[in-house]
Structure 1
């Protein structure tokens, strides 16, 4: 991802369609959405091309979420709220832990939960969250839903007109395809 901004307001990243990203898969190609990492057979990290939407991602410091602005053919198509642990810096990278439950919102601020079944299935699993943590994760989502409904930052018009610099190359991992 390209770092657009890294300041006290957060880390702002750009991932265009076609840019590489890494994902954990098992021997059958299943991802952590389909099988928990401890149940994977021969898990490995693979490089894959980002598909369908260009995305601008804001990771506020100390926040238990990231907000994604989705664009297709340069047009804003909606927000995605990734509920996750606050990021931790690791050298020139950041690390976070996905909390499975997400929110999808349209430009008209109509919203829905995403991955509720997966969230419920992971409850109590030792690699995921217990009931108390699940309650905190859901509460963070509900707090963000109120911001979506009110059209408050970051669900106002901030970044909806974002356009990348046309000279930016699409990032590729060294040695990838």
Structure 2
């Protein structure tokens, strides 16, 4: 399945620049993937590539959800395990585990971040009007990583807010610009 999805991404990138949205009568295109038993999605234009699981190079003193870094054709890319970032309990890697390389903006620079997910699910179209805000449950639930919720084939899929999820300011690491605790 990842090779089929990469073909769709490559075809779309050949036609559009990063600043354009894939949009037509059926809406924008999204890539969905599984983390734990939940399905999440991102706009397909934010996907650089999908790689088979490989153990990243360890970085000392990094948060538990930062697995390390990969050398991606000469570019060093940090790798975040979304299961650990979202506090899921099961961290087992298997044949369907992949690293999705996502594009983000940080301080007016284009950056790449790898995200470990359990499996790639699908590429689908969705009208922006069919993406709903996440209900406000008060201050007990941190919704900064969620951009919305959509229904695909009768089940909810969470749209991730990549600006926050991949923001180095929100990664608690002294070298990433995050908050450093004194204790």
Task: State the TM-score bracket (shorter-chain normalisation).
Answer: under 0.3
Structure 2-normalised TM-score? 0.27
Structure 1-normalised TM-score? 0.27
